[in-house]
Amino acid sequence: MSYDSITGLRIHIKRPAEFIPYHFIFSTLTAGETIASVQSVEQVNRGEVMSSIDLVISSSSHDSDKKGQLWVNGGTAGESYVLTVYVLTSMGAVRSCSGVVKVVGVA
């Protein structure tokens, strides 16, 4: 397991042609607090590769407990992306969880 030197977040690896789910664990929710809905998803392209394309986020969901999920495809080999999921909780709070996706190899 490797970690991003800029954010300290765990790096998840994918290839450009893969269409795969990424899970986000909201471990800071308080006792009894659960995810009510996914509000939005933010994507930051690091710009490590000239003219790189964004990831395609096809859908987002949650398990009504502490886990959010994104289905992701595309991206440019050599590029890193920081994904942040914002959720509304059962307590009415908006919380966020982030991860880094590194696209490697070829399609």
pLDDT value, residue 107: 55
Residue 1 has what pLDDT?
76
Tell me the two tokens of residue 36: 């009510």
* pTM exceeds 0.85: yes
Q: What is the pLDDT of residues 28-67, one digit of tens each?
A: 999 999 999 999 999 999 888 888 888 999 999 998 789 9
Cα distance between residue 52 and residue 102, in whole Å:
12
DSSP symbol at 31: T
- Concatenated DSSP letters of 19-79: EEEEEEE-TTPPTT--EEEEEEEEEEE---STTPPPEEEEEEEE-SSSEEEEEEEE--TT-
In this structure, what token pair is assigned to residue 23? 């899970």
Residue 68 has pLDDT above 80, yes or no: yes
What average pLDDT does range 87-94 have in this prediction? 96
Q: Given a cut of 60, is residue 80 above it in pLDDT?
A: yes
pLDDT tens across 18-28, in order? 999 999 999 99
